[in-house]
Structure 1
Amino acid sequence: MKFWRYSLTALASLLAAVSASGPTDGEAAADPNSAVVKLTADDFSSFITENPLVLAEFFAPWCGYCKVLGPEFSKAADQLNVSHPTIKLAQIDCTEEEALCQEHGIKGYPSLKVIHGSTDAIEDYEGQRTAEGIVDFMVQQTLPVVQKPETVEALKEILIASERPVIVEIVPKKVKKSAKKNLETFETVAKSKRKDVSFVSITGDELVSEFEDLISGAELKEKTKLPQYVIVRPNALDDATLLSDEEPLTAESLISFIDTEIIPYFGEINRDTYMLYMNSPLPIGYYFYNTAEEKAKVEETFNKLGKQHRGKINFVGLDAVQFGRHAEILNMNPDVIPLFAIQKVADNLKYGIDQTKFPEGPSIEAIEEFVADYFDDKLVALTKSEDLPTPEEVAATPVIKLVGHNHADIVKDTTKDVFVKYYAPWCGHCKTLAPKWEELAEVYGSNKPDAEVIIAHIDHTANDVATPFKIEGYPTLVLYPANGEIDEATGLRSPIFFEKAREVDDLIEFLNENTGNKVDGDKLRKALEESKKSGSSEKRDDSANAAAEDDDEDSDDEEAHDEL
C-alpha cells in the first residue's frame, strides 16, 4: 500500500519545502562560455554514446535552486575540462525538451543524472551541489573502487587532495589465513560506500611507514597479521581513527565504523548533508544560529564535545534563517535563537535548554552542562501534547481521542483490544479514512465504559508518544491486542499492523481475526443496523401517531370553533 513517507525528524520535508521555491536571483542556464554542453532530443543519445562519463542536469529556467546551481555547474565543468577532459557536464532545459525529460522520469528540478556511456547506465547524482563537490564526485567515478597507490607521492596526493574522508586498509606482508576474508569484505563495502568515502589499500614497509608519518591520532599495531583500517578525514591528517581489531571483519561492522567516523565533530545540516545524519542511529544535538558569527563562537566547544562523545551523539549547526521552523518539531520556540536541543531519534524524545532563562541564546557553560546532564540521564524530555478530551467530547463521538498525556494509559490497558490510527491532519488518505473509522468505532461502541475493543486515533504531528515501532507514513493503523506480548522497551504490547484495503468490512475482518477478546464485529454491526432500523421504525410510528393526534386536535378545534 502506498502512502506518504517522511523522515523521522521531519527535517527532510522541511528542507524540501524550503527548496520548492528557492532563491530567485541568478541564471539557471550555465554560462554559454563555459564547458557545459547544452543538449536537446536531437543530440542527447549520440553525445552520451560518444562520452564515457557525463553528468546531466535537467532543469527549468524559473527554478530557484537551478539558479543557485547554475554558476557552480559552470565552474565545475571548466575545472574538469582542464583536469579531466573526458568527464563532461551537460544541461537539458525541460521547458524546451519536455519529451526528453519525461522519457528520463524527471519530476523535479534540478535533477542530476550520472551517465556512464549509455542511456542504459544512468544513476542519480548523490554528491554535493557545489563546484568542488561536483568535481570530487565525478573524479571518484573514474577511479578504481579501491585505489592502490604504489608510491609515497601517489599516497600523499590522495590523502592531502581528497575532499572526502579516506579509509585506508593497511595490508601486512603476511595475512593471517583466517583474516583473508577481511580483504574481500573491504572490496564489497567499497562498492556500496564509494559515494561517501574514498577507499585505499596499501602494503609494503615504505608506504606504511610514510602513512604513519603523515597521520596522527591512530597508532598502528606492529607485528600483526591482521589488516588494519584507518579513517582519515579531509584536511585533518592529525585526527585519524583506527578501527579496533576484528576477525573476521564484517560488512556491518565496517559500515558502522565508516558511518560513525565520517561525520564531523560539529557539522552543518542542510539539503546536501541531512541524509548523512538521518541515516545515523545516533541522537542529534542541534545548535540553531542566525549568523555565521553566532556559529563561530561555539565551534570550538562543539568540536570538543563531538570528539569527547564520538559515536554517542552527532552535533550539528542549523541555519535558523532558512530552517528555523524545525525548532517547532523539537518542541522549541523558533523565535528565540540561538537555541540548543537534543533529539533522541530512536525513541522520539526531545530535550532543550530552557529558552526563558537564555533569551539571547545559551552560554557555552550552559551547553556543556546540558550535554553532561543528558549523558547522566538527568534531563526531562519535552513532551508535546494536545489537551485531554473532555467528558462531553468523549460522549459526542465513538472514536477515542488519544493525546500525548493519555496515549500510554489507554494503550497499556491489556484487558482491551486497542486499534489506533496514527494520522496527520493534512494527510489526504487520513481524511478519506475518517468517516469509515468513526463508523467502525460506532460498531464496537468504542466510547462506552464496557467496550472491549477501543477504536482510537491520534494526531501524530501534535503529540509525542513512544511506540514499539517506527511510524514511517500516514495513516498507520495498529492493533494492540488484549493480553498481547509486551515490548520491553516501551511497555506496550507488540503491535499487529493493518495493511489491507481501508474499508469497514476489511477493518472488521481484521479485528475478528486478531483481537485478543475475540469480539465478533459482524454480530455487533448487524445488531447496530437492526437497532437503527428499529429506531427509525419507532420514530416513523411516533411521527404518524403525532400527526394523527394533531389531526384530531385540529378537528376538535374546528368543532369547538363551530360551536362558538
Structure 2
Amino acid sequence: MQFWKLSTKVLATLLAVVSVQASGPSDGDAIADPNSAVVKLTSDNFASFLEENPLVLTEFFAPWCGYCKMLGPEYSKAADILKDSPHNDKIKLAQIDCTEEEALCMEHEIKGYPSLKVIRDGNNKNAEDYQGPREAQGIADYMIKQSLPAVQLPTSLEEFETLIKEQTQPFIISIGDEINEIFDKVAGQKRKDYSFYKLGKDLTKQVGKLFPSIDLKKAGYLVVHPNQLADAIKLDSDKSIDVDKLLEFINVETVPYFGDIDRNTYMKYMTSPLPIAYYFYKTPEQKEAISKDLIKLGKKYRGKLNIAGLDANLYGRHAETVNMDPEILPFFSIHHINDNKKYGINQTEYPEGPSAEVIEKFVDDYFNDKLKPIIKSEPLPTEEEIKSQQVTKLVAHNYNEILNDSSKDIFVKYYAPWCGHCKKLAPTWEELAEIYNDSNVVIADVDHTNNDVDVPYEIQGYPTLLLFPANGEVDEKTGIRKPIVFEGQRELGSFVDFIKDKGSLKVDGVVLQKRLQEEKEKKEVKEETEEKEETEEKEEVADHDEL
C-alpha cells in the first residue's frame, strides 16, 4: 500500500490550512492594484485582448472571496515582475470579476474562486488550468516557462548565461547530442516545473568553464540549482537511459540538499522515490544553526535520502504522523515511505534537540540497518477484553500474528475513531462477529489511524472492509495474504453472503445464524424454566412457613 498518500494528505491539509492562517482569508484585496500591470477584462474586450496577446493568465474571481483576497496582492506583484522582464511582450495577467461578468464566467464553467486559466493564442476554448504557485515570483516563473519552448536552444555562451541567471528553480541541460527524443519527451512532461536547455557540441565546449567539476566530453544531462553551477550533477547518456530513468534522475537531483517543505515544495518531496528525513524546528535560529551540517549530510547521501525542514509552528501536527512528540523540539526523524517505517532520534535523551554529530550517526545507522522503527500501536487487548468482545481487536503488536493464521478466513474492518460511517457500522459488525464465533471465520477490526500495520491494498477512506481468504495468495511486499475488498451494502445479510461467496472455506453464515438463534431460544426456554422452578420453590417454602 502507498502509505505516504495517507500521511501526505494530512500534511497537505496542514499546508492548506496554514496558507489560510498565514495571511488570513480576509486579508488583502481581491481586485488587483489599479496601478499594476494586471488588465481588467470584460465581455466587451475579452476576445480582442486574447487575440492580441499570445499568452494570458486569466483569473476569474469574486471580490468577496477570501482566497481571492489572499491572491490579489501577489497577482499584482507578479504582473509587475513580468512587465519589467524581457518577456513583457509575450505574457499578460488579467482578471475577470464574476460578480459583474456572470455570462463570461458561466461560459468558462467557473465553479469556484479563484479559478486561473492559461490561454494561448486567443484559444479560450482550450484554456489550461493553472497549476503553479500562488505567490508573486512563483507565478511569474511559471508563466515565463509557459512562454518558452519546452526545450530552449541557446546559440551563444552569452545568451546561455543570460538565460540561466534568470532562473530561480533548478534547470536541466542536455549536452553533446544534436538530436535527443528522450530529452524532448521529458521536457514536454516537466516544462511546468523546470526550464530545459539543449547545448550542441560547439557550445558545450564553451560552457566548460561554468561547470569546472563536470566532464563535458561525454554526452549526458545536467541538473543545476540556481547560482550553484559548481555543484551541478551529471547523468551520463548511454543506451540504458530512457524517459523513466531520466525522470527519476531529475526528481531526485532537483530536490535541494536541505530545504523546507511548504505548500510550493511538498509534492516535490512526496513524489520522490527516496525516504524523507525531517528536521522539525521551532525557531529560524534553530534551523540556521544546523543548516550547514544538514546540507553537508544531504550531499553525502544524495540519491539515497532527502532532508527537509518543517516549521513546527505551522506544521507541528505532522509530527504525530511520524510517531514523534510535537512538544519536544527540535527533533529529527526519517520516514521510509515505501513501507511506512518511521525512525526517530530519542527525544527524551535530547530534549533540546540532537546535535549535528548525533544526527549524522543516526543517519549512518539507518543505512547500516542498525535502527529499529518506531511502531505506533494501541495496547494489546487484555484477557478480559478478549473474553467480553465478539470482534477480534487488532493492534500493531498482534496484527501480523493473527493475520498470518492462514487456516481461517479473516474479515477486517479498517476504521477511524472519528468516522461517522464507522460508528454506524459498529453494532452490525458486533452482530456479525457473534454469528461466526467459534468458527473458522474471524471478524476483526483495527483503528487504522493509531496502529502502524501493513495492508496489501490502498486504503483511501473509512471504513474499508477486507476479507483475507484462508490459504490465499501472499503479497510479496507485506507478507500478508492478498485481500478481497467488500464493496456491497453494509448490511448483515450482505456480509454473510460475501463471506460464503469469497471466503476459501465457504462457511455458510445463514446456517450459523439459525444455529445461533436456536441456541438463544433454547437458552431463553431454559432460563424461563429455571426461573419458573425457582419461583415455585419459593412459593412452596412460603406455604410451609405458614404451616
TM class by shorter-chain length?
Answer: 0.7 to 0.9
Deviation by residue 1:88-144 (Cα, 9 ceiling, x = unmatched) = 223355677778667756666554332333333233322222221111110111111
Give secondary structure in 1 for the equivalent of 2:236: coil
Equivalent in 60, 72, 75 of residue 70 of structure 1: 72
Q: Are 1:372 and 2:377 an aligned pair? A: no
CA distance in 2, matches of 1:312, 1:34: 45
Distance change (3 Å), C-alpha of 1:113 and 1:398: farther
Matched letter for residue 264 of structure 1 = P
What CA deviation, in whole Å up to 9, does each residue of 1:527-559 have, x standing for no partner?
A: 3455556667x4997699699979x979x99x9
Distance 1:98 1:358, change over 3 A: farther
Asked whether the 8 Å contact 2:328–2:351 carries over to 1, the reply is: yes
Aligned equivalent of 2:211, options 211, 215, 221 = 215
Deviation at residue 320 of structure 1 after TM alignment:
0.9
1:338 to 330, 338, 343: 330
CA positional deviation for 1:279: 0.9
In percent, how many aligned pairs have the same letter?
54
Cross-structure match for 2:435? 443
Q: Does residue 23 of structure 2 align to residue 23 of structure 1? A: yes
- Whether the 8 Å contact between 1:28 and 1:63 is mirrored in structure 2 is no
Of 168, 183, 190, which aligns to 1:163? 168
Cα distance in 2 for partners of 1:70, 1:435 equals 51
User: For the structure 1 residues 26 and 422, does the alpha-carbon distance in structure 2 shift closer, same or farther, using more than 3 Å as the test?
Assistant: same
Say which SS state the counterpart of residue 279 (structure 2) adopts.
strand
2:374 aligned partner, one-letter code: L
Matched, 1:57 2:59: yes
Give the letter aligned to residue 17 of structure 1: V
Equivalent residues of 2:90, 2:147 under 8 A apart? no
Whether the aligned pair in 2 keeps the contact of 1:23 and 1:65 (CA below 8 Å) is no
Task: Give the structure 1 partner of residue 147 of structure 2.
Answer: 142
Residue matched to 1:177: none
Where does 1:168-207 land on structure 2 (aligned, <5 Å)? 168-172=173-177, 183-205=180-202, 207=203
Contact kept? 1:28, 1:59, Cα under 8 Å: no
From the superposition, tell whether residues 548 and 365 of structure 1 become closer, same or farther in structure 2 (CA, over 3 Å).
closer
Does 1:113 pair with 2:109? Answer: no
Structure 1 443/114 Cα, relative in aligned 2: closer, same or farther at 3 Å? farther
More displaced, 54-63 or 452-461?
A: 54-63
Question: Is 2:456 aligned against 1:452?
Answer: no
Residue 306 in structure 1 maps to residue 298 in structure 2: yes
Q: Distance in 1 between matches of 2:161 and 2:93?
A: 28
Work out whether residues 217 and 241 of structure 1, in 8 Å CA contact, stay in contact via their aligned partners in 2: no
What letter is aligned with 1:340? F
Cα deviation code 1:255-314 (max 9, x no counterpart): 111111111111110111111111112111111112222111111111111111111110
Structure 2, unaligned stretches of length 5 or more? none
3-state SS, counterpart of residue 56 of structure 1: strand
Tell me how far apart the structure 2 counterparts of residues 544 and 102 of structure 1 sit (CA, whole Å): 75
Question: How far does residue 234 in structure 1 lie from its aligned partner after superposition?
Answer: 1.8
**Structure 2 CA distance for partners of 1:45 and 1:463, relative to 1, 3 Å:** farther
Post-superposition Cα deviations, 1:176-203, rounded to whole Å, max 9, x if no partner, equal xxxx7xx222222211111122122221
Paired with 2:7 and 2:399, the residues of 1 have a C-alpha distance of 22
Distance 1:192 1:545 in 2: 82
Q: Is the 8 A contact 1:287 1:341 kept in 2?
A: yes
- Residues matched between the structures, number: 537
1:360: how far off? 1.6
Tell me which residue corresponds to 1:176: none
SS of the residue 1:218 aligns to: coil
SS, match of residue 243 in structure 1: strand
Deviation at 1:433, TM superposition (A): 3.3
- 2:309 and 2:406 map into 1 onto residues whose CA distance is 43
Q: TM-score, normalised by structure 2?
A: 0.88
Match of 1:416 in 2: 408
What are the within-5 Å matches in structure 2 for residues 228-243 of structure 1?
A: 228-243=220-235
Matched, 1:90 2:94: yes
Match of 1:32 in 2: 34
1:329 is aligned, of 308, 314, 321, to 321
Matches within 5 A, 1:215-294: 215-222=211-218, 227-294=219-286
Question: What amino acid is aligned across from residue 202 of structure 1 in structure 2?
Answer: L
Unaligned runs of 5+ in 1: 174-179
**Deviation of 1:74 (Å):** 0.9
Q: 1:61 to 1:473 in 2, by over 3 A?
A: same
Check 1:94–1:282 CA distance in 2 against 1; reply closer, same or farther (3 A cut).
farther
Distance 1:412 1:41 in 2: 66
**How far apart, in 2, do the equivalents of 1:544 and 1:159 lie?**
93
Is contact 1:295–1:317 with CA below 8 Å preserved after alignment? yes
User: What amino acid is aligned across from residue 82 of structure 2 in structure 1?
Assistant: L
Q: Secondary structure at the match of 1:10?
A: helix
Q: Does structure 1 retain, via aligned residues, the 8 Å contact 2:175–2:216?
A: no
Q: Deviations over 1:476-533 (max 9, x none)?
A: 3222222223334433223333334434343333322332333223332343455556
**1:410–1:51 Cα change, 3 Å:** same
